Amino acid sequence: MKINRTDLPGRARELAAAIQKRYPKADEYPYRSWSYPQGYLLMGFIHLWEKTGDELYYQYVLAYCLDHVEEDGSVRGFTGCSMDDMMTGAVLVWMYEHTGEKRFETACRKIRETYRDYPRTREGGFLHNRTEFPGEMWVDGVFMGQMFLCRYGAVFGETECFDEAVLQLELIYRYCHAHDGLLVHAYSEDCLAPWAGPDGRSGCVWSEGLGWYALILTEVLDLLPAGYEGKRTVENQLNQLLAGLEKYQNRENGLWRQVVDRTDDVDNWCDTSGSAMFLYTWKWAADKGMVPEETAEPVLRKGYEGLLARIVPGEDGLPDVHTACQGLCVQKCYEDYIHYPKTVNAQEAVCGCLWALAAAIG
């Protein structure tokens, strides 16, 4: 399905060019040289390269991989200490698939091994971190961990990875589903976290957290083999989510609120980061024929108009992304989410906009 906006491909290229000018090496992208922001960013460049074939985008990704992976396959910066640390491994899997270089294969296998003893809930859900946040499973972490694991399974022929990915999605739905396909931010086994309610759940459907969940549903569905037994479960989760997102989209600006389902509070502002993730997901679903064009078109048209209004030239003449938060941990209450400081060019929001704009090309 095409979006009736002829400037979207140009805006995608403008944003990518701005990122490359501000960060000539993806290693310099905040907040660490190896963590989920690099993976999220570089997967956006991969999406853009797949749509355009522009060698500049491929070389940007390749340079990062070569900077971080030694000849013996050791990965500079990787610790395996958290799900956040796993995510950028997905880029190495993609690079191995496209180059066949032994160093990348070895690096991917080393990252895969860190999952073997990674701590879990009693039912098997990966915790967000090995040592911090005991007993906590976050929607963020399901994206971070399964981005690598499911892609690894597809490239290296390890079907166990698909089973694991579906299990993680089933568990996070069971732990965190609130209503209308929407998930709250996190779950605390035994209610140990200060934000946990009596059922262990956090209290709010945070926009960006729900966005991580939305994105991983599309990634897993892209990678699961045809006829795979668990695919229908993931499709059902995505269909529920799309219906919920349609219900809670802001009719005035086409975006979604920081706490998605609290539509009665004027202080609950619309978040660019999560909104970009939702637009990517809607565009992916429309292109795959999962939603009728007559349903998707108004959601996407209004949403992209709202997104473009948040990407405006800064003092240096390059596009800035406005009205989003730098990555945040699980908050204790609703007020903490809606009063969390906003920043220009929040690392996740820039990446999300790149994904959403790349998706609208062709």
pLDDT tens-digit series, residues 346-360 = 999 999 999 999 999
Length reported for the chain: 362
Report CA 235 to chain centroid distance, whole Å: 17
Rounded Cα distance between 138 and 141, Å, is 5
Enter the DSSP assignment of 79. Answer: -
Q: Could you give the 3-state DSSP secondary structure of residue 132?
A: coil
4: confidence class by pLDDT, cuts 50, 70, 90: very low
Burial class of residue 231 (count of CB atoms within 10 Å of its CB; 0-12, 13-18, 19+) = middle
Query: With a threshold of 0.85, does the pTM exceed it?
Result: yes
Contact 297, 17 (CB under 8 A): no
pLDDT at 6: 52
Residues 326, 332, 333, 339, CA torsion sign: negative
Please report the DSSP string for 5-45 in residue order.
Answer: -TTHHHHHHHHHHHHHHH-SSGGGSSS-SSSHHHHHHHHHH
Per residue in 207-228, pLDDT tens? 999 999 999 999 999 999 999 9
- CB-side exposure of 89: number of CA atoms within 13 Å? 35
Q: Which residue in this structure is represented by tokens 């309610």?
A: 197
Residue 26 pLDDT greater than 70, yes or no:
yes
Rounded Cα distance between 313 and 317, Å, is 5
Host H or E run for residue 313: strand 311-313
Residue 305 pLDDT greater than 80, yes or no:
yes
Rounded Cα distance between 295 and 273, Å, is 23
Contact 257, 251 (CB under 8 A): no
Name the token pair of 33. Answer: 């040289």
Residues 194-203 have a mean pLDDT of 98
**89 Cβ neighbours under 8 A, 6+ residues apart:** 39, 75, 78, 107, 108, 111, 148, 152
Rounded Cα distance between 168 and 166, Å, is 5
Rounded Cα distance between 192 and 346, Å, is 30
Name the token pair of 299. Answer: 């959601």
pLDDT at 222: 97
